[in-house]
Amino acid sequence: MKILLLLLGLSWAMAVNANPIFKDIRTADPAAIVHNDTVYLYTGHDEAPDNKGFFVMHDWLVFSSTDMLNWQRHGPKLSTKDFKWAKGDAWASHVIEKSGKFYWFVTVRHATINGFAIGVAVADNPLGPFKDALGKALITNDMTTDTEIDWDDIDPAVFTDDDGQFYLFWGNTKARYAKLKDNMIELDGPINTIDIPDFTEALWMHKRGDIYYLSYASGFPEKIAYATSKSIHGPWQYRGILNEVAGNSPTNHQSIIEFKDKWFFIYHTGASQPDGGEFRRAVAIDPLYYNEDGSIKRIIMTSE
Ligand code: FUB
């Protein structure tokens, strides 16, 4: 009897652990934060009927967990319709807390300026309600257009340095960052570019000890690569690849967090589900470990 209970317990534990973490909905572009001992996971929402067309993404979803295993679903908490100046395409986003307010930086397609843009919504609570904080885009393609693509201003990722300065990172093909003003809705100073090899998109900054880690999607199909520095302003030393291409999705958009003394690599994959693929992705989570020298061990993906 005891063995049977143990086996039942084990299979339940494996069931809640198994990737992708949500099997019945298609989630993408995960960005997680820790607030009050709870992980809030913000994701995009793939609604393409099949893998033949392109992304169909109208809103962003929120989930929370206190153990990284059991997730509470809070549903869509922000949509492209909340930005009057946008016309669709709820691509990658990132929420960050500052002084009790939660700022949700998002990628959307601009209604009147060609290409993608970055906007910001604000709330008093990680679950919202969120509303457009600026009434216009923070970054538009017009401000940075120097490539032939109109999606070079996507994938915002925000980071607070130890001195309390907030930075916005973003970009496709060209990696960019700028300081944010105290109000979080204006840039403070110039837009800088970052020189990292084979950069595609999905910048994510985290810090452990005195090392800054800049991870990003490289190549296409994408693998997540990373570089390290002793300063947020670089120079960046390329440190290699973190994972392989995630199943049959050419994008895998990572986020890296520490929670209860463990590190996690959160990404999306097209694998694991029969209807999964490039435009029907699903978020997965695997542990992330460091070597003695501060480098990150290759992620063993458990999603395939
Ligand atoms: O989800 C749409 C786009 O695909 C994101 O903005 C990119 O990072 C890639 O994951």
What digits encode the pLDDT tens for the residues 281-296?
999 999 999 999 999 9
Residue 201: what pLDDT?
A: 98
Residue 18: what pLDDT?
A: 85
In which residue ranges of the chain is pLDDT below 50?
A: 1-16
Residue 198: what pLDDT?
A: 97
Distance 43 CA to ligand 1 centre (A): 11
Q: How far apart are CA 284 and CA 275, in angstroms?
A: 16
Q: State how far Cα 219 lies from the chain centre.
A: 17
Residue 252: what pLDDT?
A: 94
Q: Is the pTM of this model over 0.80?
A: yes
Strand order in the sheet with 282-288: 255-259, 262-269, 282-288
Phi then psi dihedrals of residue 205, to 5 deg? -105, 135
102-107 CB contacts, 8 Å cutoff, 24+ apart: 102/126, 102/128, 102/130, 103/133, 103/158, 103/184, 103/185, 104/42, 104/60, 104/78, 104/130, 105/138, 105/156, 105/157, 105/158, 105/168, 106/60, 106/78, 106/156, 107/153, 107/154, 107/155, 107/156
Q: Are 34 and 97 in contact (CB under 8 A)?
A: no
Residue 84: what pLDDT?
A: 98
- Fill in the DSSP letter of residue 112: S
Distance 202 CA to ligand 1 centre (A): 7
Distance 253 CA to ligand 1 centre (A): 7
To test the ligand 1 pocket, which listed residue (26, 29, 224, 243) has its Cβ within 8 A of the most ligand atoms?
29
Q: How far apart are CA 206 and CA 4, in angstroms?
A: 43
Q: Which residue's alpha carbon is nearest to atom 2 within ligand 1?
A: 91
To test the ligand 1 pocket, which listed residue (169, 253, 267, 279) has its Cβ within 8 A of the most ligand atoms?
253
To which H or E segment does residue 229 belong?
strand 223-229
Residue 16: what pLDDT?
A: 40
For residue 90, is it left (φ>0), alpha (ψ between -120 and 50) or beta?
beta
Q: How far apart are CA 104 and CA 125, in angstroms?
A: 11
Q: Which residue's alpha carbon is nearest to atom 9 within ligand 1?
A: 251
Instruction: Work out the number of other CB atoms within 10 angstroms of the CB of residue 163.
Output: 6
> Which residues surround ligand 1 with Cβ inside 6 Å?
28-29, 44, 55, 91-92, 107, 154-155, 201-202, 251, 253
